[in-house]
Structure 1
């Protein structure tokens, strides 16, 4: 049977099964029934049809009463990496992008680096199932090598996607760029000190006080309108682990007196000296210039 001969509604349900197997590693029949509000018999037919189309993709565990991804799994649908990551980031994990959405006339800047969807899927599986992973990672400082990580979040930092994880080599929580991973193998469950709850910089919120740049902007009202400022400032709370990425993405001048020159620096971080011991701020424009 060809996919294009199946009704649109059933293709949606098959795509959901495919998506859950790829990203979660498993799916209950009740997950499909609850998501699409179909009857038990209809849900059973969908799983039977999926198994007819790709019999090597799943196996049923009678004890746990759910279907698991097999080692031979190959997605039935094409899952576009950029769109799927966006949906995951916005908690829209329905698998619909496997069968095509309405294309709205909206453009975004081109992405120069798109992660391997199978690397992303394996990391998501590890996070959802509370597992550690072994990866082959290529860093700028030490080249390629094996690392053992305990991932807890996948993040778009504005320029690239990375995973926030406990690194067993350095015994610390760090960020790892997804496109620098060439292999991911799921390992055993982590120890307590490796869990997300112990990632202090992830849970710590810090205030950023952003104002129009005091020297590069001739008409600050325009900047105030751009960012919805009140009383000529924008005060936001961000994760300490993410602050530097945000400041770099928006070209926020983080020098002591707003001394960076250039039209790209339209914002200034006014409260830089109230921020202490935030490692991620080292990548912010001008933060380490004083």
Structure 2
């Protein structure tokens, strides 16, 4: 049934029972500002209107619980339920002129029948069986217990404990093909999710090579020293850095226009697993030698040129009439490490360059 013309409180009751399996009078009181007596009458009127009223059980002080065979009376947008469960956000649309524009959804629409078993399992802390899309696989079955919901870079995620492999992982909700509550299992005890409970500090500042560094600092209210600290859970840190477009390479390798921030305390976060998805965090050390065929011996002028090129960290060597520069560079890839050195040397007039590996 379309919920547009229905009583908003009845729609809310149906939504809570369908997506959480739980309802209390205090839910209606806090959201709609009605009295306890009115909330009781609303719940009674709603359950009486159901085709199967016994699918909602009164648990006294525990409120009302939906049976596993509960079927929603109205059509629901799962985004509304997820907003409520993720950030306690309840939206009310009113018939008034607006001066903005509609923001299109960045991902495919979520299906209520797929999301509801996951959110109910989260509330009850019970397992849910998922069919999950993975790379090169049309669907992988996972038995999980949901831990938390969050939004990052326009996508919705669920943090879960995977029972069979005894590990905590993060799944993207758009990749869940189907879901069903595991009715045979009771509420289970799971270990502490260290990544989700441990707090880490992200020290973020404007990218050192951004052409409008001062403007970036003003836009985001950065303090005088240019660094602002944020305390977040370790499991969420990488997603937040990706959403904020923070260059996490430690040396400003990424384009400062696309990534206007830099992570100032990268070394302190080396053991945080979620940072593997942070922009530029996966850097490596590369060793190589550049043979400078256009010169025959090391001179003071050559040393000055190398210094001015920005390659003074290299070791100049002269062997059998050949001059070479040995370097060890940290970069996102070997190609980028070599390319940056060759570009700097060429800009200083050095040519006939050849790269060798020893």
TM-score by length of 2: 0.67
Whether 2:121 is the aligned partner of 1:155: answer no
Alignment map for 1:79-118 (pairs within 5 Å): 79-92=76-89, 100-101=93-94, 105-107=99-101, 108=103, 110-118=105-113
SS in 2 for 1:228: coil
Alignment map for 1:19-168 (pairs within 5 Å): 19-28=15-24, 32=28, 36-38=33-35, 40=37, 42-43=38-39, 45-56=41-52, 59-61=55-57, 66-69=64-67, 71=69, 73-76=71-74, 78-92=75-89, 100-101=93-94, 105-107=99-101, 108=103, 110-168=105-163
Equivalent in the alignment of 2:274: 280
Equivalent in the alignment of 2:344: none
Q: Offset of 1:174 from its aligned partner?
A: 0.3
5+ long unaligned stretches in structure 1: none
Seen in structure 2, the aligned counterparts of structure 1 residues 63 and 69 have a Cα distance that, compared at 3 Å, is closer
C-alpha distance in 1 between matches for 2:193 and 2:3: 44
5+ long unaligned stretches in structure 2: 285-358
Which of 264, 270, 279 lines up with 1:270 in the alignment? Answer: 264
C-alpha distance in 1 between matches for 2:53 and 2:149: 25
SS in 2 for 1:123: helix
Equivalent in the alignment of 2:218: 225
C-alpha distance in 1 between matches for 2:4 and 2:236: 43
Contact 1:26 1:69 in 2 (8 A): no
Equivalent in the alignment of 1:12: 8
The higher relative CO (CA closer than 8 Å, separation ≥ 6) is in: 1
Matched pairs, number: 275
Which protein shows a greater Rg?
2
Contact 1:57 1:73 in 2 (8 A): no
Alignment map for 1:234-245 (pairs within 5 Å): 234-245=228-239
C-alpha distance in 1 between matches for 2:140 and 2:3: 41
SS in 2 for 1:242: helix
Equivalent in the alignment of 2:352: none
C-alpha distance in 1 between matches for 2:57 and 2:105: 43
CA RMSD of aligned residues (A): 2.9
C-alpha distance in 2 between matches for 1:225 and 1:151: 39
Q: Offset of 1:153 from its aligned partner?
A: 0.6
TM-score by length of 1: 0.82
C-alpha distance in 2 between matches for 1:90 and 1:152: 15
Deviations 1:7-46 (A, max 9, x none): xxxx132122112211221334675467654354x44543
Seen in structure 2, the aligned counterparts of structure 1 residues 225 and 147 have a Cα distance that, compared at 3 Å, is same
Q: Offset of 1:58 from its aligned partner?
A: 5.4
Equivalent in the alignment of 1:172: 167
C-alpha distance in 1 between matches for 2:22 and 2:116: 12
C-alpha distance in 2 between matches for 1:38 and 1:31: 11
Q: Offset of 1:51 from its aligned partner?
A: 3.8
Q: Offset of 1:142 from its aligned partner?
A: 4.0
Seen in structure 2, the aligned counterparts of structure 1 residues 87 and 48 have a Cα distance that, compared at 3 Å, is closer
Q: Offset of 1:227 from its aligned partner?
A: 1.4
Contact 2:107 2:174 in 1 (8 A): no
C-alpha distance in 1 between matches for 2:34 and 2:11: 16
Q: Offset of 1:222 from its aligned partner?
A: 0.6
Q: Offset of 1:240 from its aligned partner?
A: 1.0
